Amino acid sequence: QKEVEQDPGPLSVPEGAIVSLNCTYSNSAFQYFMWYRQYSRKGPELLMYTYSSGNKEDGRFTAQVDKSSKYISLFIRDSQPSDSATYLCAMRRTTDSWGKLQFGAGTQVVVTP
Amino acid sequence: GAGVSQSPRYKVAKRGQDVALRCDPISGHVSLFWYQQALGQGPEFLTYFQNEAQLDKSGLPSDRFFAERPEGSVSTLKIQRTQQEDSAVYLCASSSLQIGAGSQPQHFGDGTRLSIL
């Protein structure tokens, strides 16, 4: 079983809807959590970075971390067709002090006009 | 350029050939990472450099894989005697992260798509 689990989708939503994405993890040593967006044939682009449990908001994006449940979420409000991409969660252990990341498999999101 | 640059963007090789993939990190970035991304999967860590020192190569799948960063800037990932299972996208990332800092983002290049026939 992988340390980071993420539903691969695809997740199809109409334009303007809220996109809800999540990942679960098994290792409590993960303390830093990130969400990346990856367009087809492009590299991952960092969207959100969180450390502690709770919510972090940046524009239309909200990231949530629940360390007690080992569960992280990303919400995208007022979704646009340009949000169609693969969203990857990523995590880092405190012992990997120089930044080695563990990624989920990615969820493909399609926002239809 | 302003971002991480990787070349070539696409590489096709026959099984058994050696290949070399290049990464130009963002200028001044101390840390450099290589990841392998199989189709439909997330990136998997291969190796990490801090300047010219290779501090972690625990993700390299076999001794056919070799990476170097001799002057602490450009890095090359070399795969010898390629196999079909080596077909993947190879991503390079750099950051200004220093050991212990933990908070600097990794900036990714667009990868090299390697196909082994």
Report how many helices (DSSP H) and strands (DSSP E) chain A contains, helices first. 0, 11
CB contact under 8 A, A100 and B4: no
Q: Nearest CB to B102: which of A4, A32, A45?
A: A32
Provide the mean pLDDT of chain B: 93
E strand or H helix at A108, and its extent? strand A107-112
pLDDT of residue B71: 94
pLDDT of residue B100: 53
Average confidence (pLDDT) over B2-28: 96
Reported as a single tens digit per residue, the pLDDT across B85-107 is 999 999 999 998 655 555 678 89
pLDDT at A15 over 80: yes
Mutate to test the interface with B, among A97, A98, A103 (most CBs of B within 10 A): A98
pLDDT of residue A95: 80
Distance from CA of B11 to the nearest CA of A (A): 14
| Closest C-alpha among A79, A71, A65, A67 to residue A11 | A79
Partner A, chain B 30-89, Cβ-Cβ below 8 Å: 31, 33, 40-45, 48, 50, 55-56
pLDDT at B61 over 60: yes
pLDDT of residue B63: 96
Which region among A23-32, B30-39, B91-100 has the lowest average model confidence (pLDDT)?
Answer: B91-100
CB contact under 8 A, B106 and A99: yes
Please report how many Cα atoms fall inside a 13 Å half-sphere around the Cα of residue A47, on the Cβ side.
26
When pLDDT is cut at 50, 70 and 90, the band that residue A42 belongs to is very high
pLDDT at B41 over 70: yes
Average confidence (pLDDT) over A92-111: 89
* Residues paired with A48 in a beta bridge: A35
pLDDT at A57 over 80: yes
- What are A66's two structure tokens? 């629940």
Mutate to test the interface with A, among B21, B23, B31, B37 (most CBs of A within 10 A): B37
- The C-alpha atoms of residue B13 and residue A86 are separated, in whole angstroms, by 28
Average confidence (pLDDT) over B11-37: 96
**From the centroid of its chain, how far is CA A32?**
12
Strand residue runs (E) in chain B:
5-7, 10-13, 19-24, 31-37, 44-50, 53-56, 65-68, 75-79, 88-95, 107-108, 112-116
CB contact under 8 A, A97 and B109: no
pLDDT of residue B97: 63
